Every structure is written in structure tokens, then in C-alpha cells.
Amino acid sequence: MSLNEPQKAPLEALQKIKAAEEQAKTLVQDAKEAEAVKIVQSAQEEARGLIQKHLDEAKATAAHNKQAMVAAAAEEAGKIKRTSEESAGALKESVAPLLEKAVEKTALRIQEYLQQRKI
């Protein structure tokens, strides 16, 4: 059975429409894939940006905390030093009379010893 020209034209038109539909489906699929790649790349860039932002914030917070800890430690060291100096001063004051007595006692013993040797 051969198709005559008037019947052949609609069939060719349907074939062309199907081919155009397939081509359109392929183009839509390609566009979707390209868009998906763009979305993934955009999400990766945004994630890198957020990571960097949070990393920078964490570094700034750590630096601030470090400075605060160093300042607190310096203040505490100053307090300890002052307390130690006060304790040392009080100890010197309490020992001074004893030291003076010990020197007098030692001087007397030396004097006695020397006197005993003269005899």
C-alpha cells in the first residue's frame, strides 16, 4: 500500500512534530541538568562563605577570650605578688626583733668565748 501525497503530508507532519517534541524534551532535560549544576555550585559557594564567616567569628571570639584570660591572669598575678610582698614585709617585721636578739645573743657568746681564752 502506497500512500498518496495528500495522505503522506499529515504523516510527515506528525513525524516532524514528534521529532520536535523529542528535541524539545532533550533541550528541557539539558536545561534542567545545567540549572541543577548551577544550583549545586551556588550552594557550594554559599556554604564556603558561611563556613568562612563562622570561622572568622570563631577566631575573633577566641582572640577576644584569649585577651580577657591574659588580662585576668595578669590581674591575678598582680594580686598574688602584692599579697606575697605584704606577707614578706610582715614576716620581715616579725623576724626583725628576733634577728636583733639572735645577733645580740651571738655577740655575747663570742664575747664570752674570747674572754675565756684570755684567761
pTM exceeds 0.95 for this model = no
89: CB partners within 8 A, 6+ apart: none
Output the nine-digit C-alpha cell for 90: 610582715
**Rounded CA gap, 28 and 34, in Å?**
10
Per-residue pLDDT of the chain (119 residues; tens, 9 = 90+): 455 666 788 888 889 999 999 999 999 998 888 999 999 999 999 999 999 999 999 999 999 999 999 999 999 999 999 999 999 988 888 888 888 888 889 999 998 888 887 65
As a whole number of angstroms, the distance between CA 64 and CA 51 comes to 20
d(CA 7, CA 1) in angstroms, rounded, equals: 12
